Amino acid sequence: MKKQLYIILIAALSTFSACKKGGLDRFPQDAIAPEIFLNNESDLSLYVNGLLSQPDQSSYLNDQSSDNVATTAAVEVKNIMGGNVSAQNLTTGWTWTRLRNINWFLENYRKAQVTEIVKNHYAGLARYYRAEFYLDKMKRFSDIPWYSGTLNPGDKDLYKGRDPRALIADSIMADLDFAYKNVKEAVPVGTPGKWAVAASYVRAALYEGTFRKYHNELNLASSANTFLQTAAKISGEIIASNKFTIYNTGKPEQDYAALFSSQDLTSNKEVILVNIFDQSKGKGQNLNGYLFGDYEQAPAKDLLQTYLMKDGSRFTSLPNYAQMSFVEEFKNRDPRLSQTIVYPGWIRVPNATPYVQSLNKKFTGYHQLKGFVNSTDNAILNGVDFPVYRYAEILLNYAEALAELGTLTQSDLDKSVNLLRKRAGLPDLNLAAANGNPDPILVQQFPDVSGSIGVILEIRRERRVEYAFENMRYDDLMRWKAGRLLTKSPEGMYFAGLGKYDLTGDAIEDIILIDRSQTIPAEDQKEKNALGVKLIYYRTGAFDTDATVYLKNGTSGGNIVTENIIRKFEEPKYYYRPIPQQHVTLNPNLKQNFGW
């Protein structure tokens, strides 16, 4: 009976449609009265488990909004920079159904006949979900209405205006603080417990602290350090708990990749929260067809150039680094590069010979490896677990918060960032050396950084590399007020011009670039390489011609170019999204966002 009641409840919650303020005047009481539910721990657990919502492998596709990839998808921020979006046609994000379901629980859970510890555990989980809901809303709109309860038809708050960001952020922190202090550590595998809540707490505090520090349009910089101190404090407590470690078996060429291709992450000590997939249990996910080759997104050269050399020196300090071939770019690099992006000589199952990169118009030529499962077994493809929170992020957040506060020491680096570098087999990051010799390219990219400039920039590099394609980069650029970096159209592999090129690293040519005016020979007329394998032909030219490969300088060579639109990032307007105009029209108390 209890299971049937739960199914009825969740079905009812999912059918509510928006009415007036996005559905806030409709609530679960319409479907089931609290007096016949939420009476014991089983009821509390059933309801809160119904609120579970976790990131999955789709996160490997969500870097399309950042400078890490080129994409052919209709990505929102790209459309905005192209001038195609307004408050009239950008209508997403202003939905409140999930909040109503959370708040209904928080209004009614106390009637359950359980101990205060049990009540607080489930209330803490609900408040964790509410904090995450509001954090996403605040990232998008900044000022938003705060609702701590459900509403009835006729309530004046249905038509309230937007509450200030300061109130929203403080409320998020209060929810996360309560959750951190009350959610139990021992919870069912795959569901958030104390340390997952702590990871969310740190992420939210760092986001808001750095956002306030760098976004002077908010006039909240004076309170930035309060959030940064919270981020440093809670991440320090996670570190001090000794519950987690960086996954490191001493195999720098494999250990990092294992986190993204494992059939079982439940016992991995780096993974704080896991989203479990198992085809045999009816829960599978396979993104191979979306991640690899030339479907919607491809890694950008700018990301590739961010990775250091294996000896810790900068790739961008090498002579002629910008004109290096695909094979040269991967030599002696941070091993995480070849565990994130397909490298020369990589073999794709079930083939026995090295894979040759496929080139196509509007793609970079680079292929994403992170999230790709190199198998043809459907059970394996659909059974890869996803790491929702990794300890690596805690270490990076800890170091960044302290660096922004100006209190970071070498000891702090050694117990945070340098643990990630050790896994990759790289030399330690030295505080004095980093501050004494900041990377000039990173200085140019992030001119607003002050204080310990060099080490802050190196921590930002480490974040980009460690979390490439894990849906972190866009939020990082937004909180650092670095939207200008999105105005650079992504580019790809470098080719000196027409001719033959090796893409597998064996010094034998695999492809040939010909002028777009030429015709690709028939199969029996194609030239063969020294291995007796036919060369792959590509017609080459400038963008928007009938060529297959677009080069920056046409047949004279250059990087592959992926688009020719003019991107414009209007500050501070594009750091925020407009309130959908229909809601502003319905509710005059809603004032439109920055410049929208």
The token pair at 435 is 């501050």
Neighbours of 520 (CB within 10 A): 14
DSSP H helix total and E strand total for the chain = 21, 10
| DSSP characters over 305-328 | HHSPBTTS--GGGSTTGGG--HHH
Beta-sheet pairing, 499-501 with 558-561: unpaired
Nearest to 596 by CA among 579, 159, 219, 583: 579
Contact 137, 163 (CB under 8 A): no
Q: How far apart are CA 95 and CA 377, in angstroms?
A: 39
Q: How far apart are CA 64 and CA 496, in angstroms?
A: 28
pLDDT values of the chain reduced to their tens digit, one per residue, 596 residues: 344 333 334 333 333 333 344 444 444 544 566 667 899 999 999 999 999 999 999 999 989 999 999 999 999 999 999 998 999 999 999 999 999 999 999 999 999 999 999 999 999 999 999 999 999 999 999 999 999 999 888 888 989 999 999 999 999 999 999 999 999 999 999 999 999 999 999 999 999 999 999 999 999 999 999 999 999 999 999 999 999 999 999 999 999 999 999 999 999 999 999 999 999 999 999 999 888 878 889 999 999 999 999 999 999 999 999 999 999 999 999 999 999 999 999 999 999 999 999 999 999 999 999 999 999 999 999 999 999 999 999 999 999 999 999 999 999 999 999 999 999 999 999 999 999 999 999 999 999 998 999 999 999 999 999 999 999 999 999 999 999 999 999 999 999 999 999 999 999 999 999 999 999 999 999 999 999 999 999 999 999 899 999 999 999 999 999 999 899 999 999 999 999 999 999 999 999 999 99
Q: Which residues face 558 on adjacent strands? A: 495
pTM of the model: 0.94
pLDDT for res 34: 65
Q: How far apart are CA 542 and CA 548, in angstroms?
A: 10
Q: Cα dihedral sign for 405, 238, 188, 61?
A: positive
pLDDT for res 31: 56
Domains defined for the chain, CATH in brackets: 2-56+94-240 (1.25.40.390)
Alpha-helix residue ranges (DSSP H) falling in 142-223: 165-182, 194-214
Beta-sheet pairing, 536-541 with 511-515: parallel
Contact 254, 374 (CB under 8 A): no
Q: How far apart are CA 15 and CA 287, in angstroms?
A: 29
Contact 42, 2 (CB under 8 A): yes
pLDDT for res 36: 77
Contact 516, 540 (CB under 8 A): yes
Q: Which residues face 69 on adjacent strands? A: 299
Beta-sheet pairing, 511-515 with 271-275: unpaired
How big is the CA angle at 159 (ends 158 and 161), to the nearest 5 degrees?
Answer: 120
How big is the CA angle at 13 (ends 11 and 17), to the nearest 5 degrees?
Answer: 115
